[in-house]
A and B are shown apart, each in its own frame.
Chain A
Amino acid sequence: MSIVEQIKDRFKDKVEIFEKSKKRVYVTAATKEIGKELVRYLFKETGARMSIASGVDTRPGIEILYHMAFDRHNLIVSVKVLAEKPECKMPSFTDFMPAAEWIEREIHELLGVKFIGHPRLETLLLPDDWPEGVFPLRKKTFESYQENVQREYK
């Protein structure tokens, strides 16, 4: 049974699967808990390797993609989980996957996602005196753009 079929069989309608090509599959998890369960299943039971996680700033929240590589099947499954704004909370995946420790710290400081249960959520890349609440990889919203314009014309 292929990996995609295994995911379908186990998670049924809790996940939405998009097969972009034979090598690249994107799976959107309905909730964060299902996302964590799915990544745990892929990492612990099917022997996937976590390549990395990418955080993307979107309108409803920060989308986090856990890229799981299956080296025996020539396949990369990207699990999409959404951390809704404005809280942007996510369960930490470090309890079963030590490899996620650094990338969660990075997403925390660059995109402002709070990982609940992370052993050490300190700055990784930015300097220690970086101002709080400034997240470099977030997109400029229309509101912040308007604020700037108003400030300029005052």
Chain B
Amino acid sequence: MAKECMIPIGPFHPLLEEPEFFKFYVEGEKVVDADLRVGWNHRGIEKLAESKTYEQDVFLVERICGICSTSHPFAFVQAAEDVSGIEVPERAKYIRTIIGELERIHSHLLWMGLAGHFIGYNTVFMWAWKYREPVLDLFEIISGNRNHYAMFKVGGVRRDIREEDIPGLLKAIADVEKFCSMLVKAVMDDPVIQARTKGIGILKKQDAVDYCVVGPTARPSGVAIDVRKDHPYAAYDKVPWDMIVMEEGDVFAKVAVRLLENIESVKIIRGCLKKMPKGPIDAEVREIGVGEGIGIHEAPRGEVFHYVRSNGSNYPERHKIRAPSYMNVPSFKKTVIGESIADAALITASIDPCYCCTERMAVVDPASDKIIVSSEELIRLSQEKTEEIRARFRK
């Protein structure tokens, strides 16, 4: 009889925005139970935000996440504007949308590259990251920074997009679209990737509703929610684009949704650059009134939620922050049980919070506390499985 064994994954890795600690209980190769523990990087930002002014808080929340550094300021400024109903100038709305969508492309490409590495497709890893570079260059042209763009402020944006930059940006965006379409075809038509990712880690529609998952974890399971469509803000209702929804709920569907969303993001950016009206970029807010405000934004990983209670002073009375992974990670308990340990790394990765934790995976025998399988071993296991499938296809 197979002995039950615990596999700890995590908690730290420098690439993570949220360190998490996964415990997998396995019998042989099958995962029979899973548990997780978070909080290793709890920085007390909600408390800190109460002691800083609204202007400072924008920079503070920008530093919550290094990869999607615009999503938190985006939601926070909307929450602050919602308190006293501040109207943002039209041009600022378009610039905000462009920044938000560029960020989605770079985040999804980053994810795709790491997913490729995990299943042993290092070519996907290299190419996806290569094509991510021009997107970061676009950020540098617009904001002066490759990461942490510091573009947002309550009432508008800090920097304008110069008219003479727009033709160059449109050309660069066309290149990005070419790369993304190529990547869609290369990844989705590959029989080995299909065999490796189809039918594993399925999140059923009812589970997705019960766990209230958001973004690219909900949409592949047939839950058609997207903050950009459902609660239109910024310029998302002014340009044409489609919401990508799949029904299967497996890892392949999650890959497909993210890859196809890149193309939609390109559409949004192009529409915004072409339609952007002239005018001021800042409403020059002098004070935030008394009251409550809610701001939401569709970050690359799903809905970001900020709640601000203002008492009329310069400082928020309460600032609640909820990142999308907070809702998505618990659902992973439903997807990983019953799968093999070689797939666990990939399923964990498919939610996109904690991919990099897997590098700290180690199989420990509870009786002797001896490490049996290390992190590299687990990635190797996953890559070997792909090799096997690949060999089968060659025959």
User: Could you list which residues of chain A lie within 8 angstroms of chain B, going by C-beta atoms?
Assistant: 20-21, 23-24, 26, 49-52, 54-57, 65, 67, 69, 71-72, 74, 76, 78, 97-99, 101-103, 123-127, 136-137
Contacts and interface: CB of A to CB of B under 8 A. Distances in A.
A67 B294 contact: yes
B246 to A, nearest CB: 17
A102 B320 CA distance: 15
Contact of A24 (B82, B232, B305): B82
Contact of A51 (B210, B293, B322): B322
A99 to B, nearest CB: 4
B305 A74 contact: no
B231 A20 contact: no
B47 A49 contact: no
Given A52-B326, A74-B231, A124-B38, A137 B292 contact: no
B303 interface: yes
Nearest to A125: B39
B292 A98 contact: no
Given A99-B212, A124-B39, A67 B82 contact: no
B225 A136 contact: no
Contacts of A137: 46-47
11 contacts: A26-B292, A49-B212, A55-B320, A56-B309, A57-B318, A67-B305, A71-B230, A72-B230, A76-B231, A123-B39, A125-B38
Contact residues of B: prevailing secondary structure: mixed
B330 interface: yes
Nearest to A57: B318
Contacts of B42: 125-126
Interface in B282-328: 291-294, 296, 303, 305, 307, 309, 317-318, 320, 322, 326-327
A50 B39 contact: no
Interface residues of B, number: 34
Contacts of A56: 309, 317-318
Contacts of B320: 52, 54-55
Nearest to B334: A98
Contact of B322 (A24, A52, A71): A52
B44 interface: yes
B330 A99 contact: yes
Contact of A54 (B85, B225, B232, B307): B307
B327 A127 contact: no
B307 A65 contact: yes
A129 to B, nearest CB: 13
Interface in B182-210: 209-210
A133 to B, nearest CB: 17
Contacts of B179: none
A20 B292 contact: yes
B218 to A, nearest CB: 9
B39 A136 contact: no
Interface of B: 37-39, 42, 44, 46-47, 82, 85, 209-212, 214, 225, 230-232, 291-294, 296, 303, 305, 307, 309, 317-318, 320, 322, 326-327, 330
Contacts, number: 81
Closest 10 CB pairs of A and B: A54-B320, A99-B212, A125-B39, A71-B230, A52-B322, A125-B42, A56-B318, A71-B225, A54-B307, A50-B212
A100 B212 CA distance: 9
Contacts of A23: 231
B330 A102 contact: yes
A123 B82 CA distance: 33
A49 B303 CA distance: 12
A55 B307 CA distance: 10
Contact of B210 (A20, A54, A55, A98): A98
Contact of B305 (A51, A123, A124): A51
A78 B210 contact: no
A72 B82 CA distance: 20
B225 A20 contact: no
B222 to A, nearest CB: 14
A23 B295 CA distance: 11
A23 B233 CA distance: 11
Nearest to B318: A56
B41 to A, nearest CB: 9
B211 A98 contact: yes
A123 B326 CA distance: 15
Contact of B327 (A20, A65, A99): A99
A52 to B, nearest CB: 4
A101 B294 contact: no
B225 A51 contact: no
Given A51-B212, A71-B225, A99-B211, 17 more contacts: A20-B291, A21-B82, A24-B82, A49-B212, A54-B320, A67-B307, A71-B231, A76-B294, A78-B292, A78-B294, A98-B210, A98-B211, A99-B212, A99-B327, A101-B330, A102-B330, A125-B42
